[in-house]
Amino acid sequence: MITEIAWKNVWRNKPRSLIVIAAITVGVFAGVFSIAIMNSAIVQRIDASVNEELAHIQVNNKDFRNSSDIKSIIPDYNQVVSEMMSAPGMKEVSGRIIIRGIASTSARSTGVEISGINVEKERRMLKLADKIIPGTGTFFESETRFNRAYIGEKLAKELNIIRYNLDEEALSRLREKGVPEKIISGLEPIYGERFTSGRKLQKAVENLLGEKDYKKFINPVMEAAWSYREGSRIILTFVDINNIQTGAAFRISGIFRTNNDMFEETSVFVPEEELRKLTGLKDNDYHRVIGLLDENSFTEEATSEIREALSSYEVLNWKEIQPDLAMFADMMQQIYGLFMAIILAALAFGIVNTMLMSVLERTKEIGMLAAIGMNRRRIFIMIMLESIFLSIVGGLSGMAVGGTVIALTAKKGINLMQYSEGFEAMGYSAHLFPAIDTNFFIITTILIVLTGILSSMYPARKALQLNPVEAIRTE
Amino acid sequence: MKVIEIKDVNKIYNSTEIKVHAVNGVSLDFDQGEFAAIVGPSGSGKTTLLNLLGGLDLPTSGKILIDGEDLSKLKSSQLIDFRLRNIGFVFQSYNLIPVLTAEENVGFIMALQKIDRKEREERTWSLLKAVGLGDRLNSRPAKLSGGQQQRVAVARALASRPKFVLADEPTANLDSKAAKTLLEIMEKLNREEKITFIFSTHDPRVVKMARRVITLEDGKVISDEVKKQSNDPENG
Amino acid sequence: MAWRNIWRNRRRTLITAASVFFAVFFALIMRSVQLGSYDRMFKNVIESYSGYIQVQQKDYFDEPVLDNSFELDQGLLDLIASDPNVKAVVPRLESFALAAAGSSTQGVVVMGIDPQGEKEVSEVHNRLVRFKLTDEAIKALMNETLPERTKKLLKIFKNEAYTGTGRLMLDMGLSEKDTSDVLPVFRKYASFSNYYLEEEDSMSVIIGDGLSDYLGLSIGDTIVLIGQGYHGVSAAGKYTIRGIAKIPSPDIDNIVVYMPVNTARKLYGAHGLSTSAVIMMNNTDEKSLVATAGRLAEVIPESLVLRSWKELNALMVNQMDADNKSGMIMIGILYLVIAFGVFGTVLMMLAERRREFAVLISIGMQKHKLAGVVAFELLLIGLMGVMAGVIASLPVVIYGNINPLRFKGQMASMWEDYGFEPIMPTLMPDAYYLWQTVVVLIILSIAIFFSIRKIYKLNVIQSIKA
């Protein structure tokens, strides 16, 4: 009964209630959507981390990570494989040779980590093969007599393998993209010129187009002018098992692009046989075995089982290798709670004001209710319910709007191109697909109800102070 | 047993340095089925006495017994519950909950007492019919005239089968036709159902209809007349 | 009259002012911490690495290779140093090499520096490790009488290196009073004898603590460097490790090798060349920086250019910018929500006082006068909120500036992994304080505009009837 009355009381003064509800909607929506964006950055990073770079579980020789010594190999590869495969949720495992070295071209050189991999297995396991830039080759599909390497775009740029060239193809690509003729012809002075770095191209374009057009069109221009001569070669230098410096020329089998600059810049993948030949490592000599699980949720269980079984090895899961990522993921809910609480606190002022006004308008009515026999507890609950209803209506509509916008943007995503440099340097994608799970909605609802309750305290107290005698007093 | 016994009741207000002796040594008794009016000029203590009678305020000294129950012995929450079950109120205005319909307003009292739905419905219908508003069950107060609202108030006051109904200037805001209708209904209920009505009023129409008139002045009862026969309500 | 009016409905006035206060207070604290952190981060990187301005060969920025180095003679250095705002200028030769020790190899950045000059720039000499919690040190310390808490922390901070007692005490959970009895114990077992570079030490280097851990090298050990030199010559050399430094940023700490610049030049076959000249300034504000850069541009040769710290740390600038924008959005949301609250209150107030306004107008008060009074009322309420917010924030901001919040334990190492110092200093009141007031004023003006409109549209007769 009181619930009914409270609900109807909320709608007594429609404009007033609607303003408060609108405010709550805006606030809740903003909170939900912002968190969806932050959350998606983390979720995408974890996904990339696991499926492109690390896999779920790593087993190393105990000393390997500290020393990077080529001789710290896994003593019993077969045992490791069988133990890993018997762990809950394990889908597939594969061994890797890992060596540190220098990658160089005639122009540049830089330090890299070279991973000798089992091509077939890793093609199945990790999505790295799918990250290849179309037109740059394949993931070791073509056999050649040369050594082959699969490298990241950042590395390729670092070594000046990627060029920027506005040739005929590039120009037609520009037209396809819908870049206006005026811009295209404005770039005439640099047609066919080979730029060895993106920055040089950017400089030239800026000089030709002026700041405004430059900002607008530089991205499509760079994309179109991007060129790579298939089969370019790099030299990999490293140390073999006898501590002798050695190396060889490697043909680039393909170039991959991920959102993780650091990973792209330092990772080189080579078929394990080729690396064995050059280093002198024997068959079944591996430094690391990686394992992919069916689902992330198996991580803890699988890790502890494998750790027990392989106690003389170092067993790590992705959460331990990148603890900050896992920490962020866990903290997400707390961060969200805090953010939402602050927004709701701001809203609470409005709710309190509204409820107060509503109570003070009803002095006589509330006095009457007390007179005819509505006890204090019921009056208190009535006011509290009105406040909660206000909050919930606003909150639910805020979540509904939030959910809708999230669903709408989830397909195409939000591309924060401006910040892609900064994001990708830390390993995050700047193209975010907002995502949120039901936990967040639950947290929101709880906070909203709490806000409603807390906001009602003061007005309800005021209502209780009203004297039933006032109701009798004649005008 | 008397329904109401007021024994030597005083109410003194001590606010702002001025001592106000609003009710001064009043002793009154009421029987079941009375139709009484308390009259007196403003400041005579009418309102205060009614507040005391309704348990909305407690006397400074003296006792008020309702059906033998001493009001001053009740704690504030018990008092509220007592009022709910035993006293009906009809105020001059602001009687009804604006967001509820006539039916819901009447049913509200019974809902507070956790009376089940079916019984609530039946009693509501019969009460609203009795006050002549059987067809306006679903109207909100805003859609009812002043007189109609007061009639719903009466129905509501009777919903909990109270020991008596306190009516404070119920006709003050009504035109003569509406006042006449309202008083006729109240008188009928009093006659047929033996429900005790106690009015506090200036309205001569009410005084005329009352069978007992108690006059107050300066907080004291200066006259307490019981009329020999019931008056003809037609006489102006 | 306006003043008295707002106190008539005291509660409403206070609640509205309180909501403004809340938003302003919170916004100020948040911005203060954000801006303070950026400021600190940039200062760290400028002072430990990039300097405020660098002189480089004009192609070096786009292609940071040895082949794009330039001749930096004493004459040019003196010329730059003679500028009134230049505090110090030092030459550097930076390049890449592969470091080998035993069978471990690691890519490193070789920084050829002027050991004396660099004391005023990146202050490497101040970053020499003084304490290190090696395994032996910890074993020995565990046998001594130390607070329980400290012993637990010893395990967590295994292998940690410290350049001074401050951070060591913080990490070990020690306070001022422990200085006399506990610190000497640490000095006894965890001390690290460290040496700086002298110009004459042609074959000595200082390496980062992270690098020393990775390669398993300590003072006195040999490190081999191999790489590609100027115009493609082969570069190779064997050096003795003379000192170990702890650089706050792990990105640098894990890969840096400092050596005297002439040694670097010999290694890479780049005689007389430098990849950059790093300049520190006295006055570091934007205006002075631009002015200084202008003056220096006049005196340096045609083939050289000046790069500001913003360009040199473009990535960090980009990241800070993103973070900054997100912070502004959050505060924007907060103000939006408060704005609704203010508007709602104003609407209610207007509705409530309709009758009162009608009466005033009918007895002769001009509409514009009334509007003025109401506008003033709103202004007062808003300003009260702002002032309260500002005043309440000042002690927090000032304290946070002098005694900033320092992260401990896991949080701290997480920040450091990302390359940030685990500290949250605030920024002293600045332009951003003004901005909050401006935003509130904007919100108020919209509310005021609305109220004025309503007053002018008021129908006197209808309103009196109500």
> A365 and A246 in one domain?
no
- Predicted confidence at residue C257, as pLDDT, reads 93
CB < 8 Å from A in window 292-321 of C: 314-316, 318-319, 321
Comparing C201 with C2, the larger pLDDT belongs to C2
In a domain, B64, yes or no: yes
- Predicted confidence at residue A186, as pLDDT, reads 83
What 3 state SS string does A388-442 have? Answer: HHHHHHHHHHHHHHHHHHHHHHHHHCEECHHHHHHHHHCCCCCEECCCCCHHHHH
| Disruptive mutation site among B99, B100, B105 for chain A (greatest number of A CBs within 10 Å) | B99
Could you give the CA distance from residue A59 to residue A287 in angstroms, rounded to a whole number? 9
> A453 and A353 in one domain?
yes
C321/A346 Cβ within 8 A: no
- Position of tokens 């699988």? A302
Confidence of residue B229 (pLDDT cuts 50, 70, 90): low
- Predicted confidence at residue B226, as pLDDT, reads 87
CB < 8 Å from C in window 240-259 of A: 243, 245
- Predicted confidence at residue B236, as pLDDT, reads 42
Tell me the CB-side half-sphere exposure of residue C243, using CA atoms within 13 A. 22
> A272 and A152 in one domain?
yes
- Residues B72, B64 contacting (CB under 8 angstroms): yes
> A126 and A84 in one domain?
yes
> A200 and A238 in one domain?
no
Q: Which of A281, A311, A341 is the last residue of a domain?
A: A311
In a domain, A451, yes or no: yes
| Disruptive mutation site among C24, C68, C98 for chain A (greatest number of A CBs within 10 Å) | C98
The domain tally of chain B equals 1
- Smallest CA–CA separation between B17 and chain A, in Å? 22
Cα Rg of chain A (Å, integer): 32
- Predicted confidence at residue A269, as pLDDT, reads 94
Q: What is the dihedral of CA C386, C388, C392, C397, to 10 degrees?
A: 20
Could you give the CA distance from residue B170 to residue C287 in angstroms, rounded to a whole number? 81
Of A5, A372, A473, which has the smallest distance from its Cβ to B100's Cβ? A5
pLDDT at B166 over 50: yes
Percent of chain C with pLDDT over 90: 5
Mean pLDDT, chain C, as a whole number? 81
pLDDT at B104 over 80: yes
* Residue range A388-422, pLDDT digits in tens: 999 999 999 999 999 999 888 888 888 877 777 77
* Residue range C74-119, pLDDT digits in tens: 888 888 888 888 888 899 999 988 888 876 778 889 999 888 888 8
Residues of A in contact with C348 (CB under 8 A): 16, 353-354, 357
- Residues C54, C122 contacting (CB under 8 angstroms): no
Of A22, A324, A349, which has the smallest distance from its Cβ to C19's Cβ? A349
A partners (3+ CB pairs within 8 A) are B, C
Q: What is the dihedral of CA C181, C186, C189, C194, to 10 degrees?
A: -130
- DSSP state string for C196-239: ---TT-TTEEEEEHHHHHHHT--TT-EEEEEEE-GGG-EEEEEE
Could you give the CA distance from residue A288 to residue A93 in angstroms, rounded to a whole number? 10
* Count of Cβ atoms closer than 10 Å to residue C334 Cβ: 24
* Residue range C267-285, pLDDT digits in tens: 998 888 999 999 988 888 8
Mean pLDDT of C362-387: 82
Confidence of residue C201 (pLDDT cuts 50, 70, 90): low
The domain tally of chain A equals 3
Mean pLDDT, chain B, as a whole number? 85
Could you give the CA distance from residue C345 to residue A20 in angstroms, rounded to a whole number? 10
- Residue A9 at interface with chain B, using a CB cutoff of 8 Å: yes
In a domain, B233, yes or no: no
* Residue range A82-107, pLDDT digits in tens: 888 988 888 999 999 998 888 888 87
Of residues C85, C59, C19, the one with CA closest to residue C280:
C85
> A121 and A70 in one domain?
yes
pLDDT at C188 over 80: no
- Predicted confidence at residue A474, as pLDDT, reads 53
In a domain, B235, yes or no: no
> A214 and A357 in one domain?
no
- Smallest CA–CA separation between C196 and chain A, in Å? 26
Q: Which of A311, A339, A355 is the last residue of a domain?
A: A311
- Predicted confidence at residue C179, as pLDDT, reads 67
- Predicted confidence at residue C414, as pLDDT, reads 67
Range of the domain at A300: 63-160+230-311
Confidence of residue A475 (pLDDT cuts 50, 70, 90): very low
* Residue range A27-48, pLDDT digits in tens: 899 888 888 888 888 888 888 8
Range of the domain at B11: 4-226
- Predicted confidence at residue A31, as pLDDT, reads 87
- Residues C396, C29 contacting (CB under 8 angstroms): yes
- Smallest CA–CA separation between C221 and chain A, in Å? 16
pLDDT at A449 over 90: yes
Residues of B in contact with A474 (CB under 8 A): 47, 92, 168-169, 172
- Residues B152, B89 contacting (CB under 8 angstroms): no
- Residues C186, C215 contacting (CB under 8 angstroms): no
* Residue range A271-324, pLDDT digits in tens: 998 888 888 888 888 989 999 998 888 888 888 888 888 888 889 888 888 777
Of A108, A239, A346, which has the smallest distance from its Cβ to C338's Cβ? A346
CB < 8 Å from A in window 399-428 of C: 410, 414, 417-418
- Predicted confidence at residue A255, as pLDDT, reads 92
Of C103, C228, C318, which has the smallest distance from its Cβ to A239's Cβ? C103
Q: Which of A173, A203, A227 is the last residue of a domain?
A: A227
Percent of chain B with pLDDT over 90: 6
User: Which CATH number goes with the domain that contains B63?
Assistant: 3.40.50.300
Question: C260 pairs with which residues across the strands?
Answer: C113
So where are chain C's domains? 2-44+316-465
Comparing A85 with C168, the larger pLDDT belongs to A85
C partners (3+ CB pairs within 8 A) are A
**Joined tokens for residue A445:** 């609802």
- Residues C188, C249 contacting (CB under 8 angstroms): no
> A468 and A342 in one domain?
yes
The model's pTM: 0.77
Residue of chain A whose alpha carbon sits nearest to that of B172: A474
- Residues B198, B34 contacting (CB under 8 angstroms): yes
Mean pLDDT of C421-426: 75
> A286 and A156 in one domain?
yes
Of A5, A364, A368, which has the smallest distance from its Cβ to B99's Cβ? A5
- Residue C29 at interface with chain A, using a CB cutoff of 8 Å: no
**Helices C354-362 and C314-352 meet at what angle, rounded to 10?**
70
* Residue range A198-222, pLDDT digits in tens: 878 888 888 888 888 888 888 888 8
- Residues A390, A21 contacting (CB under 8 angstroms): yes
Could you give the CA distance from residue C89 to residue C396 in angstroms, rounded to a whole number? 38
- Residues A472, B47 contacting (CB under 8 angstroms): yes
- Predicted confidence at residue C116, as pLDDT, reads 85
pLDDT at B1 over 90: no
Lowest mean pLDDT, pick from A2-6, B214-218, C37-41, C239-243: C37-41
* Residue range C110-147, pLDDT digits in tens: 999 888 888 888 888 888 887 777 777 778 777 777 77
Of B84, B91, B97, which has the smallest distance from its Cβ to A373's Cβ? B84
